[in-house]
Structures are given as structure tokens and as C-alpha cells.
């Protein structure tokens, strides 16, 4: 690992009240000692106790840069387990940049993206799953994604993986010992015991893999497409959910001809929502392109919200849309129930198995149940975070899936009465793949790739 002392701006580059410059490494405190002058005394920061705050000025030689507060965190009791100093200065872009330049001028170098967290991982303060959770905390789009990321940061995945690996390594060691010393260690009756253990571990991994689909949706949001005929209230629905006039609403059919995308939060769940052109037979070339795009987006969506105008009769255009919904996760909003209803909930339910919710977007009636319906449709039971492990990372999911497949091979070998050394090969493969989830025996280029996605200063 590179032992240079690194520095970076840890806050957003904007004219805000406070800016923070973070320095980490064995020379962090001596470097800041060169540029910091305490107002109260002339003592060096190196002589101060850890986790103390000091008031003074940052100077570039004799030039005053800013009035600051300096926080000292001596290793190993810091984020990186190295000596770390944070300089809290005024938040203007120029002044924060000048403070960083002064620190670099006196011996630090600019940190790479994610290098502070990378050092925390390499120094053993956090594992790789926790490191990946850091960026998820920063990028969280809703309260569920945030809570899940914080759970991962506390080590929920780490603890579960460690427990499973302890079970696997015990049985690997037992098999190897029995093969090396059959006179003293017997494998009689062991196969039944091993199958029972494998079933328990496979059940745990199955739950984790099921939760991975939930975790992906929690992290990235549900790709949601609003479809329907022209003038049924699609754009009004989008405007209501977003909370502002994003789409043009008129009585003229075919107003929406292109795609409007927004990210919204409903009942704590993120929807990446797309309003599309009304689907109908048309000779208008531009509108026809919009209809084709609507169908294409609907086919690619996680969720389809199909808006029906209850004040009109269903027609051949609706029949076309019903075909789009077949075997798809979809919710039908029967809109305009404040008007005389010519299409009823029962009439729609006779044509589809999808959930039908009567609403009036105009009167804000019935839409509240939409969020709970989406939760029940997409997530395996109630979303809770006490002991739940939600995998949100594709890398982690693929490794867990690989471990699952290896353990299935072990079980098949046992049931087929294969030689015991076959067991330990696949058990070790599962053990190693789970180890990569938390960063044991992970390759350097993968580590660099993961941390390159982080922002500067973190």
C-alpha cells in the first residue's frame, strides 16, 4: 500500500458555510503543524491529545489563508486507522482550494477518488462489503436504501458471511483430517450430517439471493412506465406524483409525444418514472413514433402503471394495452371516478389479473394506496432492517450465487456417494467466493476498480 500522506476536499465544492479539508497518513499532523497557528498557544498539534479540536489560522508562509478549526484523530482511532486531520474552514470555493493547496505545498499529495475509504479497507478497519456500503450511503435515494446501506456499513453482510464461512471451513478441515488420518477420524454417518448442514446454509443463501432483487430495487429505484390512451390522465398523474407541472396537460389528444422521466419517492420507495405518449392507432408520423417508444419503454419496465379513463368505454386501443400487461407487474389506475363511470373496476378485472385501483387524480382520491400496492408487489414481505441482509451490489450477488452453486454440487456429490475429496474441492470454492464478498483474497485491480467509483475526499 502507498504510505504517502494524502489530502482532499471532503465537502461539496460550492459556496457553503463550511468546507472541510481532510488529511490522512503518517505525516498528516506534522504537515498541518507547518501551516496551522493556534490562537491560544504555540504548542504543536503533535503534542495534543487525540480527538481534540483547536482554533486558529491557516498560513501559507506569512500569508493568512483562513480562520479555522482543526480536528486531530490519531491512528488507529480514525476512519483510515492512520493519523488524520480535518481542517474546518469557511466554505467558499476559493478559500477551501487555497487551504488544500497550502497543505499539498507542505508535503501531502492529492488523494485519489475513494482513497480514504480504500485505506480504511486495506488497514482492516472495514471489509469490502462495508466499503461498498459507504458509496451506497452517499447515493441513497430513499429512507429504505439509506437504512439498508447503514446496516451494511455496520457489518450486517460481514457478520452473516463470516458465520457461513466458519461452518464451511470446519467441515473442510474435518474432511481433510479424516482423509489424512482415517484410523482416528471416522467418516461413518458423516454424509447425513453434512447434507443437513448444507441444506441450512443453502437456505440462508437462498434468502440472501431473494433479498438481492429487493436490494437492487431499494438502491436503484423501480423503473416505472405510465401508459394509456391519450387524455386518460397520464400526465396529470405524473404531475401529481412529482409535485409540480412537469408535463403539459390539455384537452387535446396526443399532447405528449416524447418521453418525460422523473425520479420520485412514494411511501419511501424510489420510482424512476416515465410518462409516455398515449397509445392509439394514428396516422400522424410524429405521434406514431411516440407510440412506438411508449410500447418499447413498457416492454423494458419493472412496473407498468396503466391509466384508464372510467368516463369512456374501453376500445381496441385498450385491448392492445391489455396484451402488453400479460405476465407483467402492472397496476391499473381507473381514473376520473369523480365523473359518470362508463368503465367499471369489475369490467377491467374480467379482462386482466392485474391490480385495479379506482382513483381521481384531479380530486386526489385513491392514489394514497398506490405506494403500498407497489411495496407488496415488489418486495418479499415487509421491508424491515433489524436483522435483514439486503444485497444491493451486483458483484456481491454474483459471488453469493457462485457459492450457492458450489454447495449444490457438494450436496449432489454426497447424494451420489462420490469420494469425500470431491466434497472439499467445492466446499473450498464456496468458501473462497464468500471470502471475496468481504474482501479476503481479492485482487488489487478489482479493489482499484471499486474505489475509483467514489467521490474525492471519501
According to the annotation, is 256 in a ligand binding site?
A: yes
According to the annotation, is 441 in a ligand binding site?
A: no
According to the annotation, is 243 in a ligand binding site?
A: no
pLDDT at 258: 52
According to the annotation, is 296 in a ligand binding site?
A: no
According to the annotation, is 253 in a ligand binding site?
A: yes
According to the annotation, is 275 in a ligand binding site?
A: yes
- The string of pLDDT tens digits covering residues 280-305 is 666 666 667 777 787 888 888 888 99
According to the annotation, is 178 in a ligand binding site?
A: no
According to the annotation, is 22 in a ligand binding site?
A: yes
According to the annotation, is 233 in a ligand binding site?
A: yes
- The string of pLDDT tens digits covering residues 86-99 is 999 998 889 999 99
- The string of pLDDT tens digits covering residues 372-425 is 888 787 765 444 444 455 676 778 889 999 999 999 999 999 999 888 888 989
According to the annotation, is 254 in a ligand binding site?
A: yes
According to the annotation, is 458 in a ligand binding site?
A: yes
According to the annotation, is 278 in a ligand binding site?
A: yes
According to the annotation, is 52 in a ligand binding site?
A: no
Reduce the secondary structure of the chain to three states and give it as a string.
Answer: CCCCCEEEECCCCCCEEEEEEEEECCCHHHHHHHHEEECCCCCCHHHCCCCEEEEEEEEECCEEEEEEEEEEECCCCCCCCCCEEEEEEEECHHHHHHHHHHHHHCCCEECCCCHHHHHHHHCCCCCHHHHHHHHHHHHCCCHHHHHHHHHHHHCHHHHHHHHHHHHHHHHHHHHHHHHHCCCCCCCCCHHHHHHHHHHHHHHHHHHHHHHHHHHHHHHHCEEEEEECCCCCCHHHHHHHHHCCCCCCCCCCCCCCCCCEEEEEEECCEEEEEEECCCCCCCCCHHHHHHHHHHHHHHHCCCEEEEEEECCCCCCHHHHHHHHHHCCCCEEEEEECCCCCCCCCHHHHHCCCCCEEEECECCCCECCCHHHHHHHHHHCCCCCCCCCCCCCCCHHHHHHHHHHHHHHHHHHHHHHCCCCHHHHHHHHHHHHHHHHHHCCCCCCHHHHHHHHCCCCCCC
User: Does 156 have pLDDT greater than 50?
Assistant: yes
According to the annotation, is 251 in a ligand binding site?
A: yes
pLDDT at 114: 85
According to the annotation, is 276 in a ligand binding site?
A: yes
Domains annotated on the chain, with CATH: 6-127 (3.30.1360.120), 131-217+390-439 (1.20.120.430), 221-361 (3.40.50.300)
> Quick one: average pLDDT of 338-355?
91
According to the annotation, is 255 in a ligand binding site?
A: yes
According to the annotation, is 125 in a ligand binding site?
A: yes
Amino acid at each position: 500500500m502507498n504510505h504517502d500522506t494524502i489530502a482532499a476536499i471532503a465537502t461539496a465544492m460550492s459556496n457553503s458555510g463550511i468546507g472541510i479539508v481532510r488529511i490522512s497518513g503518517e505525516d498528516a499532523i506534522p504537515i498541518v503543524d507547518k501551516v496551522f497557528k493556534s490562537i491560544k498557544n504555540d504548542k504543536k498539534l503533535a503534542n495534543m491529545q487525540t480527538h481534540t479540536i483547536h482554533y486558529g489560522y491557516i498560513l501559507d508562509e506569512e500569508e493568512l489563508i483562513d480562520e479555522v478549526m482543526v480536528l486531530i484523530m490519531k491512528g488507529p482511532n480514525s476512519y483510515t486507522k492512520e493519523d488524520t486531520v480535518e481542517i474546518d474552514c469557511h466554505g467558499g470555493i476559493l478559500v477551501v482550494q487555497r487551504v488544500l493547496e497550502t497543505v499539498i505545498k507542505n508535503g501531502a499529495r492529492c488523494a485519489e477518488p475513494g482513497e480514504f475509504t480504500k485505506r480504511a479497507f486495506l488497514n482492516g478497519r472495514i471489509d469490502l462489503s462495508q466499503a461498498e456500503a459507504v458509496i451506497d450511503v452517499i447515493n441513497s435515494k430513499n429512507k429504505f436504501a439509506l437504512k439498508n446501506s447503514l446496516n451494511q456499513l455496520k457489518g450486517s453482510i460481514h457478520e452473516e458471511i463470516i458465520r457461513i464461512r466458519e461452518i464451511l471451513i470446519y467441515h473442510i478441515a474435518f474432511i481433510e483430517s479424516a482423509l489424512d488420518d482415517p484410523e482416528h477420524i471416522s467418516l461413518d454417518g458423516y454424509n447425513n450430517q453434512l447434507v443437513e448442514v448444507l441444506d441450512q446454509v443453502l437456505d440462508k443463501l437462498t434468502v440472501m439471493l431473494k433479498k438481492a432483487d429487493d436490494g437492487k430495487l431499494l438502491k436503484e429505484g423501480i423503473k416505472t412506465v405510465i401508459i394509456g390512451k391519450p387524455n386518460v390522465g397520464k400526465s396529470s398523474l405524473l404531475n401529481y406524483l412529482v409535485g409540480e407541472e412537469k408535463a403539459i396537460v390539455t384537452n387535446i389528444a396526443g399532447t405528449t409525444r416524447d418521453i418525460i422521466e422523473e425520479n420520485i419517492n412514494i411511501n419511501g420507495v424510489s420510482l424512476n418514472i416515465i410518462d409516455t405518449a398515449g397509445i392509439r392507432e394514428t396516422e400522424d408520423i410524429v405521434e406514431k413514433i411516440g407510440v412506438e417508444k411508449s410500447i418499447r419503454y413498457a416492454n423494458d419496465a419493472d412496473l407498468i402503471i396503466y391509466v384508464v379513463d372510467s368516463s369512456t368505454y374501453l376500445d381496441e386501443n385498450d385491448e392492445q394495452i391489455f396484451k402488453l400487461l400479460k405476465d407483467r407487474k402492472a397496476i391499473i389506475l381507473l381514473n376520473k371516478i369523480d365523473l359518470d363511470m362508463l368503465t367499471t373496476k369489475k369490467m377491467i378485472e374480467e379482462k386482466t389479473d392485474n391490480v385495479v385501483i379506482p382513483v381521481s387524480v384531479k380530486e386526489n382520491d385513491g392514489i394514497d394506496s398506490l405506494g403500498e400496492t407497489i411495496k407488496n408487489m415488489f418486495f418479499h414481505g415487509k421491508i424491515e432492517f433489524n436483522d435483514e441482509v439486503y444485497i444491493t451490489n451486483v458483484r456481491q450477488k454474483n459471488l453469493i450465487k457462485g457459492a450457492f452453486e458450489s454447495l449444490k454440487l457438494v450436496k449432489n456429490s454426497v447424494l451420489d456417494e462420490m469420494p469425500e475429496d470431491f466434497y472439499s474441492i467445492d466446499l473450498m470454492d464456496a468458501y473462497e467466493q464468500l471470502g471475496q464478498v468481504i474482501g479476503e483474497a481479492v485482487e488489487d485491480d478489482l479493489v482499484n476498480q471499486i474505489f475509483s467509483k467514489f467521490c474525492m475526499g471519501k
